[in-house]
Chain A
Amino acid sequence: MPWAGSKPKIYTGSKDKYEELVKDYKEYFPTYSVLFQIAAAVGIVLDQKKELTKREELVNTYSIDKDGTLELLMRIKYPDLSPEERLEELEKYAEAGIEVIYEETVSSGHFDFRKYAEL
């Protein structure tokens, strides 16, 4: 388990955005876990972080990084932080990422991940 021993839940300050995107754009974001992973990835590649204005429970930690890639990246980026602190940093990346995804998807009706993959 990549994040074993860390805090068990993932939190967000943008639960309404998650709900709307998963409800209306299921073909892109079938679950909250998938959307969080993509949001975190977008935040990381854009190198943008945002503090959570509130902390609403989103998903279980074990469901967001089954292959351990996010954990590996966060370990590389923050070698001196504890796993819990790294997770909090990851939440901040996702908080910035979800804003970008929401803007793009709601305004265009589409989400093309390739433009982030090509960065």
Chain B
Amino acid sequence: MREIEELSANIHLLILKSELTEAAQEIEKELRKLQKKRAGLRELNLKMQLLEELLEESKCPVCGKMISELDTPSIEVELGRLRSEYPQISEKLKNIEDKYYKYHNLHSQILQKLKEIERLSTGNIYELRIKLHEKEEEITNLQKQIRRISETLKNAGISLVSQTENKISELQYEIGKLEGEAGRLSGDIEKLENEKKRLEKKLKLYMSKGSELSEVEAKIEFVDNIKAALEEYLEYMIEKRRKEIIETSSEIFLKLTNKKEEYVGFEFSSQNDYKFQIVCKDGSRPDMDTISYGEMEVVALSFILGLNKYSQIKAPIITDTLFGRLSPYVQENIAELFSEMDNQIILLVLKDERPGGKTEIDSIAPIFKHKICKEFIIQRNQINRESSIFEGKVLVGD
């Protein structure tokens, strides 16, 4: 094709060859005319120049022969005639010369072009086009053959061509369907790929969350372990404290009781409750339901005081007519113990209402008198059936 393109670029020159030749011929004619004209004008110009010189120098510029005065008028007449007949001959001659050279130049250019055109090889383009033509003819012949064969087959009743064509159509339809299916599947694959990517992202997220979960589980396990250890430690501490409390309470009990020779202390009756059990020196344990109320109160007070020792808060201690059932020895011991304590102690005691009547702690009051802060008297109005309380001085003062 490129070869054809290159060769085709000169086709117009081949077409124009006759036109150029004709133009060249026309110009040649023109040149010949101009040449003739130019020669005539040159001759006339030369004649006029000779006549002018003859008149100026009075002798022939060619042979040097002198002219007579009789010849001069006739020469002047001739020169005048020529001047009037051919005015501006020099300019005309110059114009003719210019025109001649212009045409001559064009003629040369045309000849040059014609030479170039002569050199152009059109053989190749003919060959190429002949080949192309041959191929086209071959194609046409083949198409004719196909049509003929097809016709023959049809005529023979074997619609093989038709069948084949049908088969081709079916296959094309099938291919179309499959292509459609392939397109659809490609779409599905793409969707699935996207879904896979999305799930992978999600999985990654879950995995990271899973690791967080494991971390939390580990922390929970750690906390559980700590909790178990703390519980164990707490149990140990409770047990230890329980022992300490009971030991301290026992010590207090031994200080307070009047049976120092008989008892070694008391304990909790079992691991799970806080019922008290007095322990004798011989290891026996008296039935707690049969001991006196006074002893029971001493045991209870001992425990409260023992507990109080280990308490972070110094809770106030309130006793309600505690001393009435106790022996004077035990009363004194309690009074001494109370006088040594830092807790606020509120003692509810009975007083003989009769004039000059005493309270139940009058005998031990001197032991903790210096620690009594305030005294109150609760008086019952039996008519109105109401009680009133007021500050008084019973133990301190008098």
Contacts and interface: CB of A to CB of B under 8 A. Distances in A.
Interface of A: 26-31, 33-34, 37-38, 40-42, 44-45, 67, 69-70, 72-73, 75-76, 113, 116-119
A68 to B, nearest CB: 8
Nearest to B126: A114
A72 B106 CA distance: 8
Contacts, number: 72
B8 interface: yes
Contact of A41 (B4, B12, B23): B12
Nearest to B5: A30
B15 A41 contact: yes
Which of A26, A28, A117 has the most CB atoms of chain B within a 10 A radius of its CB? A117
Interface stretch (B108-116, B280-288, B350-358): B108-116
B106 A40 contact: no
B132 A27 contact: yes
Which of B11, B12, B109, B110 has the most CB atoms of chain A within a 10 A radius of its CB? B12
B15 A76 contact: no
A27 B14 CA distance: 17
A41 B8 contact: no
Interface of B: 1, 4-5, 8-9, 11-20, 23, 27, 106, 109-110, 113, 116, 129, 132
Given A27-B132, A37-B12, A67 B19 contact: no
A38 B116 contact: no
A117 B106 contact: no
A90 B8 CA distance: 19
Contacts of B17: 117
Contacts of A113: 11, 14-15
Contact of A117 (B5, B18, B109, B110): B18
A44 B8 contact: no
Contacts of B18: 45, 117-119
B16 A29 contact: no
A40 B11 CA distance: 11
A70 B5 CA distance: 19
Given A34-B5, A117-B17, A72 B12 contact: no
Given A26-B1, A42-B15, A75-B106, 8 more contacts: A27-B4, A33-B9, A34-B5, A34-B8, A37-B12, A41-B12, A44-B16, A117-B18
